[in-house]
Amino acid sequence: MAPCNDGEGKMAEGKNEYPSNELMVARRDAACPTGLPSKSGIYADRAQGAELWDIEGKRYIDFIAGIGVLNVGHRHPKVQEAIKAQLDKVVHTCFGVAQYESYVELAERLNALVPASEPMKTMFMNTGSEATEHVCKFARRITGRPGLISFEGAFHGRTLLATALTGKAVPYKTGFGPLPSDVYHAPYPNEYKGMTAQMALNCLHAIFETSIRPEDVAGIIIEPVQGEGGFIPAPNEFLQGLRDICTRHGIMFIADEVQTGFARTGSMFAIEKSGIEPDFLVCAKSIAGGLPLSAVIGKASLFDKIEAGGMGSTYGGNPVACAAALAVLDVIEEEGLIQRAEEIGAKIEARWTELQNGVAKGVFGDVRRVGAMAAVECVTDGNAHQPNPEAAAAIQAKARELGLIFLTAGKKGQVIRTHVPLVISDALLDEGLDVFSDAVKAVLKA
């Protein structure tokens, strides 16, 4: 096996071969469960900003960013400095045992960022799934009601209740039952597919008539822009109608901002664009620049109905993760990443629309974005109801071969989506979009 082509390859410890993706695939298959996904098929050696190098030294432009975790990019210097400084102080105490200022400071800053006309409070956990489980448990405790409503196409995590809330059976639910009860799924608005905001609201009212009374519903949880569902934005009209329903019936409105949060949508949180206030907001992913951290942010008047000891997390709000998160918030503000998200998204939209009207005509059925959260739906013969996952997968594979990585989404895997780090330079963004165009042309002209 030849050395890595950037000169930085190194011999695998205790082995006579240089590391390779092929070798690692064999080791991974022997050591790790089949059920763990492998999104790109490459093994990372190092990364910086919006670039990643695999263990063979091949460079990739990264339009995945850890599935939306790295809005401030790989190894942002300010985040790295904050992590290193904290490592010299305290790594872990458990906030419930010996508390520390960074947890409180981060909570204060997040409370001020969520759109709210009344005081907010925050608790920290480790993952999006954990935060989702907690917020639904809190909603049940606060209201004294059992029911939860989420939406078709939603993804809320892989733990048991989060799996029940997720609105896609394969591969998330199949064979993992029985799942928690009193969870109901409503249609999510998708005007491209013919489901208008009013139709979706009507369907929700039908659930109240046929499956569960609104007086028995503890919370409704929604992604303002569906992530794994295909980067589908909920119309403001729908979110406002949902807020009205929740207010009228005493239902907790829960915004799942795990994938949309921290400037990706051109606002700190996507729910801001609707002009409504959630009762609770769940966030994770880009909160801490790659370290495991999640949060539930909620109205103080509701949160404080849960007695002392009714919540907690051994690792939640770890000092190192909190230090990283505080640095992330500084970077977002200092580097203007909220505005940058709009600039990135506009450039992606323009290039993809050009392809949609050219070589990808009839295959690129819908180009959509909220901020930098951009996606294109691959279809057959321009028909919105004929998904074309084969085209999406072929373009993804060709782009990876050419040095660009991104993900697909949607019920059939027919949606190409991007999680471009918001710190990407114009030159690198243009390079990545050039590679994307070359991949589309190579696949669709073949």
Looking at residue 92, the DSSP 8-state letter turns out to be -
The reply to whether 191 and 62 lie within a common domain is: no
**pLDDT confidence of residue 39:** 64
End of a domain among 284, 316, 334? Answer: 334
- Read off the CATH number of the domain in which 429 is found: 3.90.1150.10
- Read off the CATH number of the domain in which 268 is found: 3.40.640.10
Query: What predicted TM-score, i.e. pTM, was given to this entire model?
Result: 0.93
Q: Could you report how far apart the first and last alpha carbons of the chain are, in Å?
A: 32
The reply to whether 281 and 357 lie within a common domain is: no
Tokens of 57: 């030294």
pLDDT tens string 258-279: 999 999 999 999 999 999 999 9
The reply to whether 187 and 280 lie within a common domain is: yes
93 band by pLDDT with thresholds 50, 70 and 90 = very high
Asked, for residue 187, whether it belongs to a domain, the answer is yes
Asked, for residue 13, whether it belongs to a domain, the answer is no
Asked, for residue 8, whether it belongs to a domain, the answer is no
End of a domain among 334, 351, 383? Answer: 334
User: Does position 23 have pLDDT exceeding 70, yes or no?
Assistant: yes
> How far, in Å, CA of 277 to CA of 268, rounded?
14
17 band by pLDDT with thresholds 50, 70 and 90 = low
Q: Which residue has the higher pLDDT, 333 or 42?
A: 333
Question: Lowest-pLDDT range, 128-142, 168-182, 365-379?
Answer: 168-182
The reply to whether 119 and 160 lie within a common domain is: yes
13 band by pLDDT with thresholds 50, 70 and 90 = very low
| Closest CA relative to residue 299, chosen from 261, 246, 259, 262 | 246
218 neighbors 251 (Cβ within 8 angstroms): yes
Rg (CA), the chain: 22
The reply to whether 251 and 265 lie within a common domain is: yes
Average pLDDT over residues 69-84: 98
The reply to whether 316 and 405 lie within a common domain is: no
Strands 217-222 vs 147-151: parallel, antiparallel or unpaired: parallel
35 band by pLDDT with thresholds 50, 70 and 90 = confident
Average pLDDT over residues 297-314: 94
Q: What are the CA-CA distances from residue 360 to residues 201, 351, 443 (Å)?
A: 34, 12, 10
User: Does position 326 have pLDDT exceeding 90, yes or no?
Assistant: yes
pLDDT tens string 145-175: 999 999 999 999 999 999 999 999 988 999 9
Cα of 243 vs its chain's centroid, Å: 22
**pLDDT confidence of residue 441:** 97
Backbone conformation region of residue 330, classed left if phi is above 0, alpha if psi is from -120 to 50, else beta: alpha
The reply to whether 300 and 343 lie within a common domain is: no
**pLDDT confidence of residue 18:** 61
Boundaries of domain holding 189: 79-334
The reply to whether 25 and 88 lie within a common domain is: no
Asked, for residue 34, whether it belongs to a domain, the answer is yes
Between helix 426-444 and helix 389-402 the angle, nearest 10°, is 130
Question: Lowest-pLDDT range, 12-16, 38-42, 63-67, 94-98?
Answer: 12-16
**pLDDT confidence of residue 38:** 75
User: Does position 12 have pLDDT exceeding 70, yes or no?
Assistant: no
Share of the chain above pLDDT 70, in %: 96
Asked, for residue 183, whether it belongs to a domain, the answer is yes
The reply to whether 215 and 352 lie within a common domain is: no
Asked, for residue 314, whether it belongs to a domain, the answer is yes
**pLDDT confidence of residue 37:** 78
Share of the chain above pLDDT 90, in %: 89
The reply to whether 134 and 256 lie within a common domain is: yes
Can you spell out the DSSP letters for 283-321? E-GGGGTTS--EEEEEEHHHHTTSPTTS---SSTT-HHH
Helices (H) and strands (E) in the chain, counts: 13, 18
Tokens of 202: 């009507």
User: Does position 102 have pLDDT exceeding 60, yes or no?
Assistant: yes
Q: Which residue has the higher pLDDT, 39 or 386?
A: 386
User: Does position 212 have pLDDT exceeding 60, yes or no?
Assistant: yes
One-letter identity of residue 356: Q
Strands 252-256 vs 217-222: parallel, antiparallel or unpaired: parallel
Sheet with 44-48, side-by-side order of all strands: 44-48, 51-54, 59-62, 404-405
Q: What are the CA-CA distances from residue 166 to residues 133, 240, 271 (Å)?
A: 12, 22, 20
Average pLDDT over residues 122-139: 97
| Closest CA relative to residue 232, chosen from 242, 241, 244, 222 | 222
The reply to whether 100 and 242 lie within a common domain is: yes
* Number of domains the chain contains: 2
**pLDDT confidence of residue 9:** 43
User: Does position 7 have pLDDT exceeding 70, yes or no?
Assistant: no
Average pLDDT over residues 12-21: 59
The reply to whether 140 and 237 lie within a common domain is: yes
Average pLDDT over residues 325-348: 98
**pLDDT confidence of residue 227:** 96
Indicate the burial class of 19 (C-beta count within 10 angstroms; 0-12, 13-18, 19 or more). buried
165 neighbors 154 (Cβ within 8 angstroms): yes
Q: How many CB atoms lie within 10 A of CB 90?
A: 14
End of a domain among 311, 334, 357? Answer: 334
10 band by pLDDT with thresholds 50, 70 and 90 = very low
Average pLDDT over residues 213-241: 98
One-letter identity of residue 284: A
**pLDDT confidence of residue 143:** 98
User: Does position 368 have pLDDT exceeding 70, yes or no?
Assistant: yes
